[in-house]
Amino acid sequence: MTNHVPHHVNHRFDALTINRLGLWLFLVSDASFFIALLSSRFFVVGTSTPEHVDQVLGLSLTILLLLSSLTAYRAEAAAEHGDLPNAKKMLLATIGMGIIFVFGVGYEWYEAFKHFPPSTGFGTVLFTLTGVHVTHVVTGVLTLGFVYFRIRKSKTIGDNQWAVEGAVKWWHFVDVAWVFIYPTLYLIK
Amino acid sequence: MAVFMPIVKGLIGAAIGFAIGGGISQLITSFTKEPATEPMIVLGYVFAVIGWLMGVGMWKVWGRQWFGKSTNNDPTGGWERYLRFNIDHKVIGIQYITSLVVVFLLAGVLAILIRVELMDAGQNIFTKNTYNTTMSLHGIMMIAVAVAAVMGGFSNFVLPLIIGAEDVAFPRVNALSFWIVPPVVVLLLLSPLFGGFDTGWTAYPPLATQTPIGGLLFELAFLTFGISSILGGMNFIATIVTQRAPGMTWGRLPIFAWSVLAASVISLTATQWVAYGLLMIIFERVFNMVFFSPPGGNALLYEHVFWFYSHPAVYIMILPAFGAELEIISHFARKPLFAYRWVVRAFALIVFLSFIVWAHHLFTSGMGENLHGPFMILTELISIPTGVIFLSALGTLWRSKLRLKVPLLFALGVVFNFSIGGLTGIFLADVATDIALQDTYFVVAHFHYTIMGGEIFAIFAAGYYWFPKITGRMYNETLGRIHFGLMFLFYNITFLAMFVPGTVGMNRRVAEYPPEFEFMNLVTSIAAFALGIAFLPWMYNMLNSWIRGPKAPDNPWDAKTLEWQTSSPPPLENFDEFPTVTGDPYGYGDESVIHAKFPNSTDAISAEGD
């Protein structure tokens, strides 16, 4: 049985445009979730940040995630120009940095349990914000992983153009979310 | 039995998922000494939903693609096509409508039980705890019907047709947003077996963090329902933006599509907030976090976050209802929709205002008093765009030759009931009166006047109006009129009578009340039982007409909009030939206005007769 393919009649928008619109709408929706998250930080603990927050770790995680956004961008650009080997390399680099980030957050949690466990105000905020964010990171890593395995054996990008683009856009979103979470959690005094 | 295979597979998938998730949770918590039931339920449930989705067909239709395998999304078939993960928007619309009718009837039975309890001042059939669980369940189930019946049910069926599209923009996401609804219903029905929840549908902490397991099930159900709502909103916006027929400019978009667009914007962005509110409760229960407990936490946080969704949510309910109401009034008055452009502006203004009025629910919650004035004024501003919508309905009705069919009767019922609902709302928006009326039956009556009198009546209007298109059969007009007459009469007696004890201070959410309120409560209860009986002719009419009713013509109402220009029920691809839109959808009385042309047919759609 063939696939039921919609949009074969009205060609005013191609599938790529529709997919982009859908993803952007989803990002708007998810951004609204992060706004709620960020606002709860100020409600629960105001602008106070305990001394034991590991500033070096926070900054390192931020730099790592921003670098991974760069490699993700390079992967997308390479895929667009049909340079598959480079796209795969850059995807792998992004995935690698994503996994390191997840372990970094794990270490942060291990430290946080000593100074501000979830049953304290700051602990509540820290575990919720980083927890929700690291869940997003895991979905991003999984998505990039799926995309990598789909293009691993192929010679041309073919139908997977959108797969690369969508996964990379999602990764950028996850990074941008962190760019807001980082100052909210670490830098405010 | 083969037709139930996807459901059976889904249940097996859910069981496997629950075992995996629960197992992982038990493994993790075995390192701590904390009680581990609630983490196990949460993680088990998440995996169970995934297993359920894959089992009912998401794996076959969608999941295989992630691994580079071929998929099979054939939406055709006998009636088994309604019992699996199906991507046809018409199937999904019918799935939503029929499931929500079941939920509606169950919640209706709960309402009857509540009224039995409240017939006299003492305690009758319930203990205080079972009473609270009953009224909470009635609340959340009716909220689910109110949010999803128009947006999930009728929008799904009608929206692609009315804009001349073949399907929604993302058919698979559409199927996904339906199939995460059954777990919601299952959890809600299970919750009384696990101790129930006595928080009401609003789930305020700190009580919500202390309820038995039943409360946790309710919170998970609500959260899941939010995901469905978000995905639906995203899909409808993308559909309206990208899938309109050629020539369907924004100025020619039927008002129902506009209203769905407006409601979708709200459900896309605001629903995330209630998801976060419930997530905070679950985190506080499972991880002992302190969002709502001193020293840092504060229960007001939940109320802000919750109402930041739940106030806009009433516009998710009522805006598509207004859209359907105006649509029906224009077609049955045989007149162009009065002030079409102003209605669209009113929708936009309501969407904007809906985000900045939430704190009028917190006037008596201990919120800073400097916020009372602004939120009172902003709330009252909403009556301006709502008034525009009313003026449009009245202007369309003005000096028209009405065709008094059942859909129009219900649409007129919306105009009448929502006027009362809107006017009583002013007293609740006003801080001075709200402080006295807060948490009384006045609020209950007001809410039922807006949502039941407004939206549920509009759902019935839409149900009768689109019944011939959805089923291909005509309903029985006489039975429909009997249903309307009984429902309108007893609905109004039930809820008008509720204002009286509310005004003098009868608290809501109580099983016992002071004996001086007994008489009006008895009136309300008897009228409520009669209101329950009013649905019997409707149920008989719908079932009997769907099976044995006379075949419906393609366009029984002589309406100009596109859903009536295809066969009843529509073919799989919606239209045999796709239309080009050339004019206003409401150009009645002007022969020169032609809404749409079909490539190979000579008869373009123009106004008929009158």
What single string gives the DSSP state of each residue in B519-584? HHHHHHHHHHHHHHHHHHHHHHHHHHHHHHSPBPPS-TT---SGGGGS-SSPPTTS-SS--EE-S-
Q: Is the pLDDT of residue B142 over 90?
A: yes
* Reduced 3-state DSSP string for chain A: CCCCCCCCCCCCCCHHHHHHHHHHHHHHHHHHHHHHHHHHHHHHHCCCCCCCCCHHHHHHHHHHHHHHHHHHHHHHHHHHCCCHHHHHHHHHHHHHHHHHHHHHHHHHHHHHHHHCCCCCHHHHHHHHHHHHHHHHHHHHHHHHHHHHHHHCCCCCCHHHHHHHHHHHHHHHHHHHHHHHHHHHHHHCC
**Best interface-test mutation with A: which of B67, B240, B243, B281 has the largest number of A CBs within 10 A?**
B243
pLDDT given for residue A6 in this prediction = 46
- How far is the alpha carbon of A20 from chain B, nearest alpha carbon, in Å? 10
Percent of chain B with pLDDT over 90: 83
B78 phi/psi in degrees, rounded to 5? -75, -150
Q: Do A29 and B275 touch (CB under 8 A)?
A: no
Tokens 């999304």 identify what position?
B73
Minimum Cα–Cα distance from A127: chain B residue: B289
Q: How confident is the model at residue A10 (pLDDT cuts 50, 70, 90)?
A: low
Q: Is the pLDDT of residue B99 over 80?
A: yes
Decide if A18 touches B, using CB distance below 8 A. yes
Q: Is B203 left (phi over 0), alpha (psi -120 to 50) or beta?
A: left
- How far is the alpha carbon of B191 from chain A, nearest alpha carbon, in Å? 26
Q: CB of B49 within 8 A of CB of B180? A: yes
A44: exposed, middle or buried (Cβ count in 10 Å: 0-12, 13-18, 19+): buried
| Of B306 and A46, the one with more pLDDT | B306
Cα separation of B345 and B348, whole Å? 5
What is the pLDDT averaged over residues B131-156?
A: 94
Alpha-carbon distances of B380 from B356, B357, B499, rounded to whole Å:
11, 9, 21
Per-residue pLDDT tens for A142-162?
999 999 998 888 877 877 889
Q: Do A18 and B169 touch (CB under 8 A)?
A: yes
Per-residue pLDDT tens for B553-593?
999 999 999 999 999 899 999 998 889 999 999 999 888 88
Cα separation of B585 and B105, whole Å? 35
- Which chain B residues are closer than 8 Å to A109 by Cβ? none
Decide if B61 touches A, using CB distance below 8 A. no
pLDDT given for residue B605 in this prediction = 53
> Would you list the domain boundaries of chain B?
1-65+80-85, 86-548
Chain centroid to Cα B440, Å, comes to: 24
pLDDT given for residue B589 in this prediction = 85
Q: Is B68 left (phi over 0), alpha (psi -120 to 50) or beta?
A: left
What is the pLDDT averaged over residues B10-36?
A: 88
How confident is the prediction for chain B on average, in pLDDT?
92
What is the pLDDT averaged over residues B536-552?
A: 96
- How far is the alpha carbon of B234 from chain A, nearest alpha carbon, in Å? 6
Decide if B68 touches A, using CB distance below 8 A. yes
- How far is the alpha carbon of A41 from chain B, nearest alpha carbon, in Å? 9
Tokens 């409240």 identify what position?
B118
DSSP state of B505: T
What is the pLDDT averaged over residues B223-235?
A: 95
- Which chain A residues are closer than 8 Å to B171 by Cβ? 4, 6
Q: Do A6 and B233 touch (CB under 8 A)?
A: no
Alpha-carbon distances of B457 from A80, B82, B415, B430, B482, rounded to whole Å:
53, 26, 10, 27, 14
Closest C-alpha among B156, B154, B182 to residue B83: B182
pLDDT given for residue A7 in this prediction = 42
- Which chain A residues are closer than 8 Å to B573 by Cβ? 9
What is the pLDDT averaged over residues A157-171?
A: 90
What is the pLDDT averaged over residues B1-10?
A: 88
**Domain topology for A15-187:** Four Helix Bundle (Hemerythrin (Met), subunit A) (1.20.120)
Percent of chain A with pLDDT over 70: 94
B52: exposed, middle or buried (Cβ count in 10 Å: 0-12, 13-18, 19+): buried
Per-residue pLDDT tens for B418-456?
999 999 999 999 999 999 999 999 999 999 999 999 999
Measured between alpha carbons, how far apart are the two ends of chain B, in Å? Answer: 52
Cα separation of B567 and B563, whole Å? 9
Cα separation of B262 and B237, whole Å? 9
**Best interface-test mutation with A: which of B231, B289, B577 has the largest number of A CBs within 10 A?**
B289
What is the pLDDT averaged over residues B147-175?
A: 94
Q: Do A43 and B298 touch (CB under 8 A)?
A: yes
Q: Is the pLDDT of residue A5 over 50?
A: no
Decide if B580 touches A, using CB distance below 8 A. no
Q: Do B242 and A12 touch (CB under 8 A)?
A: yes
Q: Which of B67, B234, B276 sits opposite A37 (nearest CB)?
A: B276
Q: Do B296 and A45 touch (CB under 8 A)?
A: yes
Q: Do B234 and A26 touch (CB under 8 A)?
A: yes
Tokens 């959108």 identify what position?
A162
Percent of chain B with pLDDT over 70: 98
| Of B238 and B122, the one with more pLDDT | B238
pLDDT given for residue B258 in this prediction = 97
Per-residue pLDDT tens for A131-145?
999 999 999 999 999
The CATH number of the domain covering residues in B86-548: 1.20.210.10
- The whole model's pTM is what? 0.94
Q: Which of A4, A29, A36 sits opposite B234 (nearest CB)?
A: A29
Decide if A160 touches B, using CB distance below 8 A. no
- How far is the alpha carbon of B194 from chain A, nearest alpha carbon, in Å? 26
Q: Do A18 and B73 touch (CB under 8 A)?
A: no
pLDDT given for residue B293 in this prediction = 83
Q: Could you tell me which residues are beta bridge partners of residue B473?
A: B551
Per-residue pLDDT tens for B35-72?
688 899 999 999 999 999 999 999 999 988 888 788 88
Cα separation of B414 and B353, whole Å? 22
Minimum Cα–Cα distance from A46: chain B residue: B296
pLDDT given for residue B214 in this prediction = 93
- Which chain A residues are closer than 8 Å to B75 by Cβ? 4
Closest C-alpha among A101, A86, A105, A58 to residue A148: A86
Q: Which of A22, A30, A45 sits opposite B170 (nearest CB)?
A: A22
Per-residue pLDDT tens for B184-207?
999 999 999 999 998 999 999 989
- Which chain B residues are closer than 8 Å to A5 by Cβ? none
How many A/B residue pairs have CB atoms within 8 Å?
128
Decide if A141 touches B, using CB distance below 8 A. no
Minimum Cα–Cα distance from A26: chain B residue: B234
Minimum Cα–Cα distance from B270: chain A residue: A32
Cα separation of B328 and B461, whole Å? 8
Per-residue pLDDT tens for A80-99?
998 899 999 999 999 999 99
pLDDT given for residue A8 in this prediction = 46
Count of residues for chain B? 610
Minimum Cα–Cα distance from A7: chain B residue: B166
What is the pLDDT averaged over residues B320-346?
A: 96
Q: Do B166 and A9 touch (CB under 8 A)?
A: yes
Q: Do A120 and B169 touch (CB under 8 A)?
A: no
pLDDT given for residue A105 in this prediction = 96
Cα separation of B141 and B188, whole Å? 8
pLDDT given for residue B602 in this prediction = 54
pLDDT given for residue B35 in this prediction = 64
* Reduced 3-state DSSP string for B141-174: HHHHHHHHHHHHHHHHHHHHHHCCCCCCCCHHHH
- How far is the alpha carbon of A187 from chain B, nearest alpha carbon, in Å? 19
Q: Which of A4, A21, A26 sits opposite B74 (nearest CB)?
A: A4
